[in-house]
Structures are given as structure tokens and as C-alpha cells.
Structure 1
Amino acid sequence: MEDAEMAATGRIILASVSAFMLLILLIFASVVIAGASIAHAESSAIGLKVEPDRIERRFGLPPQTGRITLMDDEGLVIREADGASTTVRWDRVREVHQERPDPRLESWLAQGERMWRARIRLERGDVVMAEPLLRELFEQTRGQSHAGARLVAEGLLRCRLVRGEQAGAVLPALEVIRLHRAGIESDAYRALPAVLDEKHELVPALPPVWQAAAGDLALVSELEQYDAQGDAVVAQLALRYRQIAARQAGHVIDAPPARSSAADSAQHPGLQLVQLLVDAHDGDSTRREESRRVMKQQMEQADGWVEAWLRFHLGSSLLEEEGVGRKQRGLVALIHLPARFSGLQPYLAGLALDRAREGAEKLNMNELADRLRVELERNWSNHPIRRTTERGRTRIGSAH
């Protein structure tokens, strides 16, 4: 009896073990089948993606194929079959063919198309059609640090210089300087004359003299809000420009000392030059005198646009002083500009001519004033100074 019970119990155990093993085998088989299905699906998906990512480019450049590894505000990075990676700016991209495109792709493509259109219009001399696009793009890219932002800032700067909109060119100029100092260049506008002097890191066609009626603080406000993105030199340059713009509008702003990179700022030739011009119109007579002394020394060695800037501010500073002798020397310094720099510095030469005319009138040198007025009307009819007659005179320095 006991043997029979034991045999029955054994059979039950063996049956249970067999059922358990069968269950394990069924689970294992399910896992294997599922894995095989996933692998098949993946291999099928891979098989479906026959074509790699493809970029259709502008400017007659051939398309590029490979794998797009990055997209951002600057452009995209594509890794080609040979393993080499290339960055392509959005203004060069016409279309992107990709299985799963970034949701922002359409926005980037649209911005790139506007950059491309603005660039080609400006390069063929169509400032009127290029500037609206560049103005809109500048608000989007201002403060960014990539080649597309440089293309936009420099394009807007060029447009406004062509139109004689000097005050409107200041912020784009600061951005061009900042991006240049950050090592960010652009291949745009290579066929056009350079706008930036790399030694001084200033824009020669943008001397720090802007046409503003008394009380007009628009440029002052814009410069106050300008963000140099941590560049101490550009921040100090913007501050000096703000000082000049405020004084031309009849206000005075004292500049605090630079808090960072003071040594770098102090040795920067462009900043040194602008500081010298600021000091020539300072409320402190000793500082004005010292500035003029240094300017006279530098004019002996300077040439081109630097000499023109120095002579203009030397003459303007002397005209603001008391004493007939000083004012007459100021007239001589100013008349150098239309006589010698009308081709190189047409904007500043026209301002100097008008400033000299005004100075001659105040000195009762009526014959000279009449001759200067005729010259201005005859040969400088399109100068921006002619557009400011109705809204007030251009103020050069400060009241002191």
C-alpha cells in the first residue's frame, strides 16, 4: 500500500515538474519569437531607409548626403560617408530631406532663405530691397555668435551706411566688431569693400558724430540697452559712443571705469582713439587741452581715416572754446576734411564743411561762410546733413 502511494506521489511530482518545464519552455519560446520579430522589424525599417539624409544647397553648390548629426541656429552638421563632418549655414541650405526632421526645421529654412535673399540683393547693390529683410533678421540674430549673425549685422551696417543713416548703423557696427573679436567671420560681401578696420576694430565710415536734434536720446537709449555678451572692449566702446551721443543731444553721461579686462581695454587702439575724441569735448578744460595736444601729435603720424577723425574732433573742440584765435584754428582743421578727405570720408567731410560754415558765421567771417554754404549746396546736396535742417542742427560736443 505504501509502495503504491509512493509511486502515485512520484508520478504527481514528475507531472508537476514536466508541466513546470513546459511552462518555462513556452515562456522562452515566446521571448525568442518576440525578439526575432523586433529584430525583423528593425531590419525591415533599416531596409526601408535606402536614402541617407540629403541637403540641397544654394549658390550652385552640389547636394550633400550623409547623416545629419546636429541642427541649431547657425546651421546643420552632416557626416558624410567618408566620416568627415561639415557645417552648412542656413543661408546656404535650400532643402533638407530627412526621415524624421526636427520640428524647427521649417523655421530655420525660412530664416535661411531670408538671409540668402538679403545677401544677394545687397551684393548686387539693391539696398532698398535688402534692408527690410536684414532689419527683421537683426532683431532675431542680435546677440548670437555665429556666421549667420555676422552676415546679418554686416549687411544691415552696409545698408545704413549707404543711406547715410549713421545713428542706425551704430548697433550693427558694434555687433560686427564683437563677432570679429570672437573670431566669427563670414564669406558674404567679399566682393565689396571691407567695412571694418581690423587694426583698430572700428568702422572707418562710421565716425562717432551722429545727427541728433537737441533732446533726441533715441541712440542713447539703444546703447544703454546694448549687451556686448561679455566682451569688455566692446562694452566700453558702446559706453563711449553713448557718451558722445548724449552730449550731441545736450546731455552729459559720466563713464565709470571698466570693471573687467581693464588692461585689455586700455591697450585697445580703437578704444584709445574713441576715448581721445570723447575727451576733446569733456566738461573739464584741462582734459580737453590734453586731448587736443595728443591729437596733434598723432596727426603727424596718422593718415587716412584716422587723421580725418582726429582733425574733425580737433577742429570741433577748438570751435567750442572761447577766443577768436582758437576758433580760427578750429576752422582751419575742419576745412582740411572737404579739401583732402571728401573721397575717403564723405560723410565726415560734409559735416566738417557745415560745421566750418556755422563757425565762420559766428566769427562774422561772412565771405568765408557764404563760400562754404555754396560749396555745401553745390557739391553735397545729397549729404545727410541736408536732411536735418528741419529738425535741428547737429550738435558736435557738449556745453561747457
Structure 2
Amino acid sequence: MFGLALSAGAGVLGAEPREEAGVAEASDIDRAEVRLLGRVEPLLGKVEEASFEALSLRVDGATVEIGWDRVVRMSGPGAEKAAEFLELAEKAWRSRQRLERGDFVLAEAGFEELFGVYAGRLGPTAQAVAEGALRCRLRRGAHASAIGPWLMLLQAGGGGRPVFDGVPAVVDPETGLCPAIPPIWTETTGVRQLAERGITLPSGVEPTDERAALLGAWYRYAASATVGERQDRPSNSDDPSVRLIAELVLAQHGTGVERSENRDRLRQRLDRSRAGRAQTPAWLEAWIYAAIGRSLVRENDEAERLRGVVTMLHLPARFADEQPFLAGLCLAEAAEAMDELGRGETAGLLRAELRRRYPGHPAGDDAPNGRGPIRGVTMNSPRAGGGQDH
């Protein structure tokens, strides 16, 4: 409830607390008093360790690791061990408090500063900082640069239940993927920067977790293919989430044979879901329809391209609430495909629908920079569903 990570053994986050044989419980006189954000009563426990990653207390026979984003103040025995971290703690808990009350502008300033320090680290504070930076970047539509905090959240051991109180999950607990960041790009400044410079992380920080590194590589590869930059293809993996992202990317950007093979793999995922053999959340179903549709409109056969248009139109018809940006993108790309097929009247109707439902969408012909379909800048409008960086 209060974001405490309980460990039965040193460094084991999330385990059920148990009393360790031979460990004497601290008496009241040995206990520090820790005031936590969002908790009325102080937490009493013996300070075992205060580190950059967390405050470790002995409470009722278990080790409790508390992220600094929860620690408002401390007093009593052992509090001096935490003294050097309290300034950092204040910045962390204030940023957390601002995010939870909806003040994303001020929250982002704090989380961005902390992300420069905590990116690549483990533990509850690193998780809170990464998730805070991720939520703030997504809030302002910086989807390409949000990949870095997302990967650091996974690497820090997060991505299960939300770190913050009163907010929906930003990462799917089953897959570790972020529903707000599909591997489906349009050419924007942020996407080009992702292609040319890689994942946006503080200097010297790289994903060391194999899954996080491979996910980041596939997202960059998709961005590079989108803007026409050449990149070495990442390796695949036995990890189910990496395999899924690879299928989505290769369906859009592979060779003709690879596109066909990966469309089939994605369709099989939908078939298993329809048959009740697997569960496909709405956000993922939307990703799959978008990837298959974008893949089909790249083919030469007119009938396949028309099927691609119909497939993409599932997005505005069925997934507009779950994936508004993708819904608008699919409308724009369906219109472009119909133009190329010589069906200008239908293309015009689709563009009118895009303007009506998603005014100012980055892929629309009313994008603020006037660059026209597919190549606009990001928008912060909820109607546009965010964008892919400025």
C-alpha cells in the first residue's frame, strides 16, 4: 500500500517477509522513526543500511527496503546513517507528490534531474525515478525519448504494479511492454534522433539487462527503417516480449518474404486469442492490426493493399480509446494508400474523418507545421493521442 519492498534476505525485493532465526528484534530504544509520504503513522524500525538505492529497516522481523521517494524525514537511532541522502530524498518525494496530484510540469523537472543520477541503477528509488520520468515524457507526447526511462524501469526491476498511488499501470505486467509506445513510427524529429543517436539516456548509461537492450535495439531499428537510415538488424531472442516486438517490426519493415511470414505469426496470435487459448489485451490487438495493415499496403498487389486499408481501419473503428494516436495514424495512412490506388474520393473522406476526430494529429494534413500526412510534429492534444516527439 505504501510502496515498501519487503525482503526476507538481503537484496531480494518483493519476497514475503519472514522472521529470520537467530536475529534479535530491535527494542524500541533502538528504533528510528521514519515519516513516509502518504502514511499518517511513522514507521518504526532499526536502520540496517542507508544507501543510494534505498533505506533498509528491520521491522517486525523482516527487512523493509524503502525508496527515498517515500522518506519525508527521519529521527532517532541510526538516522545519522541516512543524513547524506535526505536532500536527494526530498527532491524524490516532492516529485512523486507532484505527479500523484497531476502537476506533471513540476514533477518532470525533478524526475529528469533524478533520472540523470539513477538511470541504470537497481532498487525501489531507481524504479520510482524511471517510472516518474516515463510518465512525464509520455504526458507531453515525447514517446521516442520515453523509451529510455521505460527500459531503465525494466532494468531496475519495475514494471509490475505501478510505483505511484492512484494511477493506472504504465507498463503491462505480463509482457513488460509499454502500451503507450508501440514500435510503429512516423518520421518526426524525435524518431529521426532515435534512429541516428539511439535511446535517450544519460551519458555513459546503456541497458545492461539483455531483454531491455534487445527491446531498445528493435525499437531503434524500426525508427531507422521509418526514416530510411541503415542499421544492423538486432538479434532475436527466446524472450516472448522481444519475439513479439521483432514480429511487429519485421511485418512492417522486413523483406517481402519476412513481411508475409510475420503477418502470419501476428494473425496466429489473434487466432489463438479468439479461440480462447491466449489473452490479447486491447492495446496489443491494436498494435497487431496496425502492423499487419501497414505491412499489406506496402505490397504490390492491389487486393492486398485494399485489405491493408481495411485492416488499418480497425483502429479508428475499435481501438480509438485505447490507442488514439495509432487510430489517427492508420486513418492517415489508409488515406494515402487510397490516393496511390487512384481512389481519391475515398482518400478525401478518410482525411476529413481524421480532421474531425483527431484535429491537429501529427499525421494529418492540418498538422501545425503544415508538413502534411505522415510527417508532422507531435501534438499534446488528448484528441490527437500524443505524438512521437517534437
Name the TM-score class by shorter chain.
0.7 to 0.9
The corresponding residue for 2:51 is: 72
Given that 2:316 and 2:328 are in contact with CA atoms closer than 8 Å, whether structure 1 keeps it comes out as yes
Partner-residue secondary structure (3-state), 1:290: helix
The aligned residue for residue 227 of structure 1 is 206
Q: Paired residue for 2:357, among 379, 382, 385?
A: 379
Rounded Cα–Cα distance in structure 2 between residues aligned with 1:100 and 1:295: 56
Shift of 1:354: 1.3
Are 2:289 and 1:289 aligned? no
Instruction: Tell me which residue corresponds to 1:360.
Output: 338
What is the rounded CA distance, in whole Å, between the counterparts of 1:345 and 1:159 in structure 2?
18
What number of residue pairs does the alignment pair up?
A: 334
1:118 aligned residue? 95
Larger radius of gyration: 1
Matched, 1:271 2:271: no
Q: Measure how far apart 1:334 and its partner are.
A: 0.8
C-alpha contact 2:199 2:220 (8 A) present in aligned 1:
yes
Deviation at 1:72? 0.5
Structure 1 portions without partners, runs of 5+: 1-49, 259-264, 396-400
| C-alpha displacement of 1:335 | 0.9
Q: Report if aligned partners of 2:32, 2:79 keep a CA contact under 8 Å in 1.
A: no
How much does 1:52 deviate? Answer: 6.4
How much has 1:299 moved relative to structure 2? 2.6
SS in 2 for 1:368: helix
Structure 1 residue identity aligned to 2:302 = V
Q: Structure 1, residues 73-130: CA drift from partner, whole Å, max 9, x if none?
A: 12223447x7765433222222233688768834x22222222222222222222222
* Whole-Å separation in 2 of the counterparts to 1:307 and 1:137: 35
Range with bigger deviation, 348-357 or 361-370: 361-370
- Superposed, which structure 2 residues align to 1:228-377 within 5 Å? 228-229=207-208, 231-257=209-235, 265-266=237-238, 268-302=239-273, 303=280, 304-377=282-355
CA distance in 2, matches of 1:184, 1:311: 25
Aligned in 2, Cα 1:102/1:248: closer, same or farther, shift over 3 Å?
A: farther
User: What secondary structure is seen at the aligned counterpart in 2 of 1:223?
Assistant: coil
2:16: which partner in 1? Answer: none
Query: Residue 133 and residue 212 in structure 1: after superposition, are their counterparts in 2 closer, same or farther (change >3 A)?
Result: farther
CA deviations over 1:49-89 (Å, ceiling 9, x no partner): x9965434332433345653311012223447x77654332
Q: In 2 relative to 1, CA 85–292 (structure 1 residues): closer, same or farther, beyond 3 Å?
A: closer
Q: Percent identity?
A: 36
Q: Deviations over 1:116-151 (max 9, x none)?
A: 222222222222222222222211111011111111
Given the alignment of the two structures, is residue 153 of structure 1 paired with residue 153 of structure 2, yes or no?
Answer: no
- The separation in 2 between residues aligned to 1:273 and 1:239, in whole angstroms, is 13
Mind listing any 5+ residue stretches in structure 2 that lack a counterpart? 1-28, 274-279, 376-390
Contact 2:54 2:123 in 1 (8 A): no
2: CA distance, partners of 1:132 / 1:307: 34
Q: SS of the counterpart of 1:281?
A: helix
Counting helix residues as a fraction of each chain, which structure ranks higher? 1
Distance apart, 1:314 and its partner CA: 1.1
Cα displacement (A) at 1:215? 10
User: Structure 2 CA distance, aligned partners of 1:256 and 1:89?
Assistant: 35
3-state DSSP of counterpart to 1:194: coil
CA distance in 2, matches of 1:64, 1:213: 48
